[in-house]
Structure 1
């Protein structure tokens, strides 16, 4: 899908290449960008103006009104955060709105800093079209809707968005935010948190708390080795399986060593016999798909007309979700929260097709930043590092 997106972008870009303004003139041309135009330091403007074949997702005036004091504080105290956020708003390629497919595409950004992403080719945004509007899904499935598309400039195109993008967090942090506390607790019990947080290019099928609760009677007797085998059966390393990359009938090798089978039909996306209930939750090192069953490496039942047959025969539900004792309370549920845009979060009900891989990119550690003075100060400090 990314290859097809690039071809569409190239054709559209060729038609718009003539008589386009500079980046500075493009920013000044839109009243929606008056705040951004007033904040961007000259050094940053010059750096972006010299770039070519890029797409800038430019926060409109309303987006800056949503920036909380907590976010500003985090940006000023977290090493490299300001630069990383700016880089995440620049797509590697020029993509007019007409190039964004309805079924979605995962587009790499300029964010390759290994302190913030461990995805080959750089962290991505999920670009899609909903109700004739382009929407970008980012960390925690927060969404930013394009309010004005195709503001062209000499280096590419600008899309004005209503909400700042959210850099995807770690697997364990997303599990907490999403209320997947059984997954997080099980990872803690098996001493696998650091592994899933740091392994590059992962696909994780994360069962809901209810899924663990439904087989609760089978869990107390598990040895540490058995729990590890179950959890690693939910992880694929070396392949970021965004929904557009999943193909019907594909067999994928897990970290456990056994394979899972992907089924895609009119009812949705299935992993063995578990349905994907929330797809494409971006994380720092890949993607998470939330599923409605706990996979069983000893019972790899494949989805058929008897969808819903449990993978743990004889297991019975318990009254409370296992592994949740002592786990943090969900902080900001995925797909919503203050600062969410107008789009809706993607689910596993679509009919994705296979896709080409992402291009190679390098990673660089970011220096520590300590700045003050609101967003103008943040952008000024970031200018040195772009």
Structure 2
């Protein structure tokens, strides 16, 4: 296990451990004045954080917020205090994680967004956000890359810890260089990840709302190429048949992040939303779902996680087995052939301003921050004017 201490603060860090979060935030106002201003608009959340114990605050710097509002999607967003509440909650981990607690293996750490507590006011805040449907709270990924701690949020957007281990009486604060992207619903994440065939198929099967409204899901999302490889068979599918195929790609009630796919969930069979089972297998460092290989892991969505696979699963061929040495798995639909165009994409347009999780490798690289899921912040920034920028 590889441990690091990032930008240690020495005696200053030890001294700040005796300070409250309010005092620590005030002491860092030259770097965190925007965060302080935003918290001032949310007195209920600020009071809860001030009295909280065993938390980690991931504090975006002034430069991070300035970069955030440059995105066109955020510039057009309307003011929404409830959404701002959710964005801020997503920057609070439910446990104390110093820099030395991160390793080279990605960890998925629950935040206060969507978490339920014995605090009735906190429950009320979570009910107003409606931005997460994951038991225990929406997660942020954390991993050591080189000598830095990187944090992964929605659409695989990455943020770097700039200053670590600012201790306070209730936990620890890390200053980060990018505002975390609150995960979007699966249908939106599919579009923003350039998975246009999946988005179009969900629309054709009238499953957009149904999938977005589920709780605790693992979705295996076929790539555009996977849909294209069975393109000759798609025009013959009825809406009911297409619905059954898509539901076969959803494990409902289990959120299987990559760390679980290779350990706790590996070599097990899981019931799907369609009723049949899929087999999760880890072979020679690769993960297969039936005969489809996972090519991109951990696109965090509002109600769980989405992994991209290289084949469309067939509920009528649930015993399909992978060939771990093959560069491309055989299609699971007998007689299907590739089409010249990607099916289900007519009229489906992916945003050009969003980070494309489908083109990034799992846990690597740095997706361009899109601010998707963070509506409502921009108007507050505009009201503060030069104090932010």
TM-score (norm 2): 0.79
**Deviation per residue, 1:109-129 (Å, 9 max, x gap):** 111135111111111111122
1:96, 1:279 → 2: CA distance?
A: 25
Shift of residue 169, structure 1, vs aligned partner = 0.7
* Residue of structure 1 in register with 2:144 after alignment: 129
Once the two structures are superposed, the pairs formed by residues 77-116 of structure 1 within 5 Å of their partners are 77-78=79-80, 80-112=82-114, 113-114=126-127, 115-116=130-131
* 2:321 maps to which of 292, 302, 306: 302
Bigger shift: residues 210-219 or 307-316? 307-316
2:255, 2:184 → 1: CA distance?
A: 15
Shift of residue 192, structure 1, vs aligned partner = 0.9
Alpha carbons of structure 1 residues 212 and 371: separation in structure 2 relative to 1, 3 Å: closer
* Residue of structure 1 in register with 2:162 after alignment: 147
2:353, 2:74 → 1: CA distance?
A: 17
Provide the aligned C-alpha RMSD in A. 3.1
Alpha carbons of structure 1 residues 52 and 316: separation in structure 2 relative to 1, 3 Å: same
Shift of residue 183, structure 1, vs aligned partner = 0.7
Once the two structures are superposed, the pairs formed by residues 161-310 of structure 1 within 5 Å of their partners are 161-246=176-261, 247-300=265-318, 301-305=320-324, 307=326, 308-310=329-331
2:384, 2:97 → 1: CA distance?
A: 30
2:25, 2:243 → 1: CA distance?
A: 52
What secondary structure, in the 3-state scheme, does the structure 1 residue paired with 2:142 have?
A: strand
**Do 1:176 and 1:331's aligned partners in 2 also have CA atoms closer than 8 Å?**
no
Shift of residue 331, structure 1, vs aligned partner = 3.5
**Deviation per residue, 1:324-348 (Å, 9 max, x gap):** 11112333454579xxxxxx95528
Alpha carbons of structure 1 residues 346 and 375: separation in structure 2 relative to 1, 3 Å: farther
2:350, 2:379 → 1: CA distance?
A: 31
**Deviation per residue, 1:304-359 (Å, 9 max, x gap):** 4454222123321111100111112333454579xxxxxx955289xxxxxxxxxx
Structure 1, gaps ≥5 residues long: 1-14, 338-343, 350-367, 379-386
**Do 1:168 and 1:283's aligned partners in 2 also have CA atoms closer than 8 Å?**
yes
1:319, 1:376 → 2: CA distance?
A: 51
- Alignment length, in residue pairs? 341
Shift of residue 263, structure 1, vs aligned partner = 1.5
* Residue of structure 2 in register with 1:54 after alignment: 55
* Residue of structure 2 in register with 1:66 after alignment: 67
1:271, 1:148 → 2: CA distance?
A: 40
2:381 is equivalent to residue 374 of structure 1: yes
TM-score (norm 1): 0.80
**Do 1:143 and 1:335's aligned partners in 2 also have CA atoms closer than 8 Å?**
no
Shift of residue 16, structure 1, vs aligned partner = 6.8
2:169, 2:293 → 1: CA distance?
A: 45
2:316 is equivalent to residue 316 of structure 1: no
2:17, 2:247 → 1: CA distance?
A: 54
What secondary structure, in the 3-state scheme, does the structure 1 residue paired with 2:160 have?
A: strand
1:94, 1:187 → 2: CA distance?
A: 39
**Do 1:40 and 1:376's aligned partners in 2 also have CA atoms closer than 8 Å?**
no
Structure 2, gaps ≥5 residues long: 1-12, 115-125, 365-374
What secondary structure, in the 3-state scheme, does the structure 2 residue paired with 1:135 have?
A: strand
1:19, 1:225 → 2: CA distance?
A: 59
Alpha carbons of structure 1 residues 130 and 216: separation in structure 2 relative to 1, 3 Å: same
**Do 1:23 and 1:155's aligned partners in 2 also have CA atoms closer than 8 Å?**
yes
